[in-house]
Amino acid sequence: MTYNFNDIEKKWQDYWAKNETFKASNTSDQPKYYVLDMFPYPSGAGLHVGHPLGYIASDIYARYKRHKGFNVLHPQGYDSFGLPAEQYAIQTGQHPAVTTEANIKTYRRQLDQIGFSFDWSREVRTSNPEYYKWTQWIFIQLFESWYNNDSNKAEHIDTLVEKFVSKGNVTINAACDDNIEPFTAEEWNNYTSEEQQSILLKYRLTYLAETEVNWCPALGTVLANDEIVNGVSERGGHPVVRKKMTQWSMRISAYAERLLQGLDTIDWTDALKDIQKNWIGKSVGASVTFNVNGHDDVIDVFTTRPDTIFGVSFMTLAPEHELVSKITTAEQKEAVEAYIEKTAKRSERDRMADVKTISGVFTGAYAEHPFSKEPIPIWIGDYVLASYGTGAVMAVPCGDQRDYDFAKHFDIARPNIFEGVDISEEAYASKDNVKIANSDFLNGLAYKKASKLAIYQLEQLGQGEGKTNYRLRDAVFSRQRYWGEPFPVYYVNDKPQMIDAAHLPIRLPEVEKYLPTEEGEPPLGRADVWAWCTESNSVVSNDKINNTTIHPLELNTMPGWAGSSWYFFRYMEDTANRDGVFASEDALKYWENVDLYIGGSEHATGHLLYSRFWVKLLKDRGYVNVEEPFKKLINQGMILGTSAFPMVLILNVDPKVKYSKEFESDFLEDLTYLANVQSQNYFLSKDLSKQFHKAIKLEQIESEFLKGSITNWLDNLLDFEQFKFLSKTDLTIKCEPVELHIPIDCVELDDSINFDSLNNSALYYLHNKEYSFLKNEKGKFITERVPEKMSKSKYNVVNPDSIVADYGADSLRLYEMFLGPLEQYKPWNTAGITGVHNFLKKLWKLYHQGDDINKDNPDYYLHNPSTDDVYSAGKVVKRGFGVNDAEPTKDNLKTLHKTIKKVQEDIENFSFNTSVSTFMIAVNELTQQKCTSKAILEPLLVLISPYAPHIAEELYSKLGHTESISTAAFPKFEASYLVESSKKYPISFNGKMRFTLELPMDMSKDDIEKTVMAHEKTIAQLEGRTPKKVIVVPGKIVNIVG
């Protein structure tokens, strides 16, 4: 009976859908387990084989947990707001909602055919108003919160107002803007409502402020720091410039310490934790205040090395520092202004790319050293960043390489304050193994004590204190785009007002075009019905705006990460009960947080940080019970495509010829270049090119066939005017792959080109030129396969649809796991899938040994014998489903139980690739053993079912079960079946294994040694030498030294 995977898979996918097999319940006696994938953005291109990798892994885990008796929540949904749909809308005029809906349909079809055990009844879409209603609601909670550093949590803004009313703001320890003026309770109570609102905005966890943002002109929007890669936009690679704009920001910096501390409580990889740690960038040190000579102004700096305070020989301010214009002397004014202008022109990218150039200007002003009272020259330099710390540094050349280089370049003093350290060549930046010298009261102390004492003395002077700084910046939250969540915000006299939660959602308005307006306003500026009426509490037409009851609405939308920062809570609630809550208290209490989260590491500083931030806020405000969203996180690696390249001839003029003829060297280079350009048209099948990986001459070619073809090519080539005086024998020939992407659809499994499909391909570059493909003796042209990122532009995208059609979903699932460790990057090569596909056929066969054996065993479970034809060994034989009640043999049991052990360990270690090998070994062994015993073959199916659920269901039902296999108990491992009575000992000589010897397990150490030493092979090995030492490790190894 043949393995009809297409029929079987369709059958069970329908069964699961119809019976809601994977619907999770919010009430259960079983322990809960929540397995989540990072939900996809439904792009127009659909899925390629790389996308399901993480979904397959999480699905295996979810299915395994069900077998283990857990109530599993394994949902899926769509991150359906985003830039590509909007860019497409701009180009085609189609509403993003329409294209998004179409894309989701494709995604759903593709996901369904892979057989995931998702509970689709709980699906979420971030662009659905019923969903983004709650994103807007959370935004309001952020607006109505402030961060109390004393209680170390966010509180409702009312508690802050209460404090202001009774005590003013001087005793408040809050995360807030830097430019806060102190006021008393009395002053607060006398402020106008508008003044109060302005002040509160500086404390809210989301606030409107003029900030320097990353503006991307090409996309017409601002970008967050994590959306910029190497100075260009992550999407599209467009340049980014700095620009001041009024924007909503998220005060994530308030949570810096908790975000850092929380990492210790979660099970993520160290790599990922390190990325977040670096991004948060905590540094502990001190803030020091320097008086400026001749001015009332002071300069605050942050330093991590207060112990080196006596090593300061100058100060550097960022060119943008506010004091620069104030303190610059008349003589230096011109130079300073010129420098500021020059640095302002340099883009952020230039500044980044060019780290080595030292530049700066003296301001002419001096600061006063807090202890020695010596004058310290104040410089400006663009190595100091305005956005970090206070935008000013105290420069200590002996302890910091940048300060050292700067001082050396401008010939500033470099005093040495380290005992016995040579700083003539470079700074000594280490904090360890050094004592402070030439530093008054700090002399002889090491870093820790000196720092502490320096801070204490600074505090006595009122010129400093201990301080901790974080690199983490507040996150810009406004986007000048259409396809995102609208803010629930309207403006009264330019002051933002929240719309009452009762009136949410505020739906995205219709616009004619998705581009910014002519005035440079965001696309929502084009909406005609986009004003808020405070009487009817509804969105009304713009022309009704009267600024008394009807006000303009916010024109920005929220960024992509808004909707994804809380979606994992939405899944917890049944769709039917989602109306009045983002998730009910009971649901949140039952499911808590995600037990296992699988997704790509590219979200390390975006989604994964912002979600943690929002969860902490929701917890502080009492809406959820957990501090962290994702208990355990695994990053799946990327599956790379394998591009197919032809081998191309590389021609060079033989060096000997170069010198024998009198060429000018330039001319010769041109000639070589030209020869290569011309030869790019000549392709060689890979198997023919082997001789040419080193440069050889024409006459050295071994095959006559090749020599003839290449001679022909060279004749054509040398026909050009420029080559007239060169002969074929002056050239050397080499072969290399050339980056000419042969579309992967036109490449067969043996890497040969299918010229029929290639000629029908729409690729212009393959038709434009006169290419010559030299095929091998079999008439095939073999390409070189090179791993590269899968992308449309590289023509190397493999679609799972075709894989499922040709080999089935179970094969796809197994193969994706078989490729290698989950976390690793690995190339996809469709040819390899035959290995796992054959395995499934063998598995099928193992359960269909019916007819042959049926003759002597009457107890067979035969199903549909009429269709059980199989063609085997040249004959058509009847093969029925053949599993019986035969007593399992010792070998059967051993195979089964070592498989149980290994597979269980593998799944728990997320080592799915090794499980697949284990299954192969088990099936090979059981086939060898001709096992037909139900006691073995039934538990085996449960082991395999998380990986290949369709075939497992089918065979399980054939065993007579009417229920799905999905909740069958995972087989229990019995160690007793694996106990061996003897061991095949490897016998080593000086650590090298020479032969093996089977000995009883219970043989004593002495007896083993005696037996081994008496063995003829040992005697032969020793050739009469007496061994110095014999190492016997019972149950492991014997090693004879000497």
Q: Please, which of residues 785-844 interact with RNA by CB under 7 A?
A: 818-821, 824-827, 829, 831-832, 834-836, 838-839, 841-842
The full length of the chain comes to 1042
1027 binds RNA (CB under 7 A): no
Beta strands per DSSP E along 381-534: 392-395, 464-470, 475-476, 489-492, 495-498, 531-533
By CB under 7 A, what part of segment 128-157 binds RNA? Answer: none
431 binds RNA (CB under 7 A): no
Considering only 750, 869, 963, 1002, the residue that binds RNA (CB under 7 A) is 750
Burial 184-194 (b: 16+ CB within 10 A, else e): eeeebeeeeee
Q: How far is CA 690 from the centre of its chain?
A: 39
User: Which residue from 1000, 998, 997 is spatially nearest to 981, judged by alpha carbons?
Assistant: 1000
> Rounded distance, CA 844 to CA 841, Å?
5
Q: How far is the CB of 856 from RNA (least distance, A)?
A: 23
* C-beta closer to RNA: residue 108 or 471: 471
By CB under 7 A, what part of segment 339-358 binds RNA? Answer: 351-352, 354-355
By CB under 7 A, what part of segment 268-307 binds RNA? Answer: 270-271, 274-275, 278-279, 281, 283, 285, 301-305
* C-beta closer to RNA: residue 769 or 1036: 1036
> Rounded distance, CA 355 to CA 332, Å?
25
241 binds RNA (CB under 7 A): no
User: Which residue from 52, 222, 45, 118 is spatially nearest to 811, judged by alpha carbons?
Assistant: 52
1041 binds RNA (CB under 7 A): yes
* C-beta closer to RNA: residue 583 or 640: 640
691 binds RNA (CB under 7 A): no
Considering only 172, 280, 324, 920, the residue that binds RNA (CB under 7 A) is 920
* Token duo for residue 991: 């650590």
* C-beta closer to RNA: residue 264 or 270: 270
430 binds RNA (CB under 7 A): no
Considering only 79, 123, 400, 868, the residue that binds RNA (CB under 7 A) is 400
> Rounded distance, CA 531 to CA 350, Å?
43
- Residues 290/299, Cβ–Cβ less than 8 Å: yes
Q: How far is the CB of 640 from RNA (least distance, A)?
A: 9
Among the listed ranges 169-177, 183-191, 199-207, 920-928, the one in contact with RNA (CB under 7 A) is: 920-928
Q: How far is the CB of 332 from RNA (least distance, A)?
A: 20
* C-beta closer to RNA: residue 859 or 980: 980
Q: How far is the CB of 228 from RNA (least distance, A)?
A: 8
Among the listed ranges 114-122, 563-571, 852-860, 987-995, the one in contact with RNA (CB under 7 A) is: 987-995
* Token duo for residue 860: 């067979």
By CB under 7 A, what part of segment 576-635 binds RNA? Answer: 601-602, 604-605
893 binds RNA (CB under 7 A): no
By CB under 7 A, what part of segment 46-65 binds RNA? Answer: none
Residue with tokens 């170390």: 152
685 binds RNA (CB under 7 A): no
* C-beta closer to RNA: residue 421 or 870: 870
> Rounded distance, CA 959 to CA 945, Å?
14
Q: How far is the CB of 992 from RNA (least distance, A)?
A: 7
Residue type at position 926: L
Number of residues that bind RNA (CB under 7 A): 91
Sign, Cα dihedral of 388, 392, 396, 402: positive
* C-beta closer to RNA: residue 123 or 227: 227
775 binds RNA (CB under 7 A): no
* Token duo for residue 1022: 């020793």
677 binds RNA (CB under 7 A): no
By CB under 7 A, what part of segment 511-540 binds RNA? Answer: none
User: Which residue from 808, 762, 645, 777 is spatially nearest to 705, judged by alpha carbons?
Assistant: 777
* C-beta closer to RNA: residue 617 or 639: 639
By CB under 7 A, what part of segment 181-220 binds RNA? Answer: none
* Token duo for residue 308: 């080196």
> Rounded distance, CA 310 to CA 132, Å?
56
By CB under 7 A, what part of segment 358-397 binds RNA? Answer: 382-385, 388-389, 391, 393-394, 396
Q: What string of H, E and C letters represents the secondary structure of 555-596? A: CCECCHHHHHCCHHHHCCCCHHHCCCCCCCHHHHHHHCCEEE
* C-beta closer to RNA: residue 376 or 583: 376
Considering only 913, 932, 966, 1018, the residue that binds RNA (CB under 7 A) is 913
Compute CA distances 1005 → 1001, 1012, 1038, whole Å: 10, 11, 10
The conformation of residue 855, written as its DSSP 8-state character, comes to T
* Token duo for residue 627: 């501090």
975 binds RNA (CB under 7 A): no
Long-range contacts of 260-263 (CB under 8 A, 24+ apart): 262/612, 262/616, 262/627, 262/628
Q: How far is CA 691 from the centre of its chain?
A: 42
Residue 686, judged by CB atoms within 10 A of its CB (0-12, 13-18, 19+), counts as buried
> Rounded distance, CA 80 to CA 835, Å?
37
Q: How far is the CB of 784 from RNA (least distance, A)?
A: 11
- What is the pattern of x (binds RNA, CB under 7 A) and - over residues 991-1010? xxxx-x--------------
Q: How far is the CB of 461 from RNA (least distance, A)?
A: 19
Q: How far is the CB of 3 from RNA (least distance, A)?
A: 10
